[in-house]
Amino acid sequence: MCSYNGKLLELKTEKENFGQLHDFTNESLNDKHDFIMKQVFSVVFAEFKQKHGDPPCEFVWFVTGSAGRKEQGIISDQDHGVIFAIDDPVVQEYFLALGSDVSDGLNTVGYPYCEGNVMSSNPVWCKSYIGWKQQIEKWMERENWESIRYLQIFYDSRGLIGNEVLVHELRELIHQYRHKYPSLLTRFLNNVMRIKKGVGIFGQFFVERTGAHRGSLHFKNTMYLPYVNSIRLLSIKEGITATSTLERIGMLRELGKYEALMKEYDSCFRRILCIRMSSFKDAADYRDVHFLNINKLTKDERMEVKHLLRKGIKLYQQVKRLIEKGC
């Protein structure tokens, strides 16, 4: 057990050094996150197998959220799940126990537990292939907000350990259902239609009024998510298989009809990722990386932030019109 904990602490130290790097990009940073998460899983899994034996069937451990989109910042929480081949309660117990240990390991290394409980220790996110298929079908049939939210989360899933085909096949169910029932896309749209604006028509910032981040801009909700949600909507509409927002933009541009629309937003989103990395390098914890202190920005930086905020709203409005018109 000492060796197990020692390896996790070494990985924690390595992760904590991310903020000291000066030459990384979004791609290289997320490659490092992938490496750390894979190492955590390997260390935990090796210890787990000594106690519980080898896995009873093939499986895939996938990440979702910002990890699935390859858009994690310096500090990121954990979002993950498991798909296993054999539909049996005893098999699920094995993978739930593994998921619990992996969640604990990730938390030890510096990835906080997901507040929404999107973790492979949760039976909702740890199911057999058949169980997942049934669950996704129910999510698509139900009209409630939570089901559509779960679909969006799963749509951003990316296999990290094991058989990635299991993820691809289940995600394809969403495309198949959308072709048969086009109204699904409208339900996706309605789920993300409440955009929190960060800038007013007179150029004033809409900042947090109370709490620890009073006076700061909610970077995630006002700047980042309008782009992510809008591009995801178009990707679902067009059957795009990529999970990264930048890769989705690239694949949409390749279709031709979105080239003019996507070209500008490609550069906008890249700037947003750069701002996030530079602005939150010294953040104390995961909550801090969602808020941008505009008082620390120069005049030119403020102008750029306002430009990106307005572009995010415009992108969403354009995508909304495309979906409503059925284009």
Helices (H) and strands (E) in the chain, counts: 13, 6
Does residue 175 share a domain with residue 210? no
Does residue 146 share a domain with residue 90? yes
| pLDDT for position 288 | 75
Tell me the residue range of the domain where 119 lies.
Answer: 2-180
Does residue 296 share a domain with residue 175? no
Does residue 248 share a domain with residue 274? yes
Which of 180, 211, 239 terminates a domain? The answer is 180
- Decide: 138 and 147 in contact? Cβ < 8 Å: yes
| pLDDT for position 251 | 96
Residue 303 lies in a domain: yes
Does residue 168 share a domain with residue 40? yes
Residue 120 lies in a domain: yes
Half-sphere exposure at residue 307, Cβ-oriented, CA atoms within 13 angstroms: 13
Does residue 198 share a domain with residue 141? no
Does residue 285 share a domain with residue 151? no
| pLDDT for position 1 | 46
| pLDDT for position 18 | 78
Splitting the chain (327 residues) into consecutive groups of 10 residues, what average pLDDT does each group show? 79 84 81 96 97 97 97 92 98 98 97 96 98 97 91 97 97 94 90 84 90 90 95 95 96 94 94 86 73 92 96 94 83
Question: Average model confidence (pLDDT) for the chain?
Answer: 92
Half-sphere exposure at residue 218, Cβ-oriented, CA atoms within 13 angstroms: 14
| pLDDT for position 284 | 67
Count of domains for the chain: 2
CATH number at residue 165: 3.30.460.10
Does residue 266 share a domain with residue 239? yes
Does residue 174 share a domain with residue 305? no
Which of 180, 201, 217 terminates a domain? The answer is 180
| pLDDT for position 190 | 87
Does residue 294 share a domain with residue 271? yes
| pLDDT for position 194 | 76
- Decide: 14 and 43 in contact? Cβ < 8 Å: no
Q: 35, 62, 29: which is closest to 273 by C-alpha? A: 29
Residue 185 lies in a domain: no
Does residue 203 share a domain with residue 140? no
Residue 61 lies in a domain: yes
Percentage of residues of the chain with pLDDT beyond 90:
77
What is the phi-psi region of residue 256: left when phi exceeds 0, alpha when psi lies from -120 to 50, beta otherwise? left
Does residue 87 share a domain with residue 212? no
Which of 145, 180, 215 terminates a domain? The answer is 180
Q: Is the pTM of this model over 0.85?
A: yes
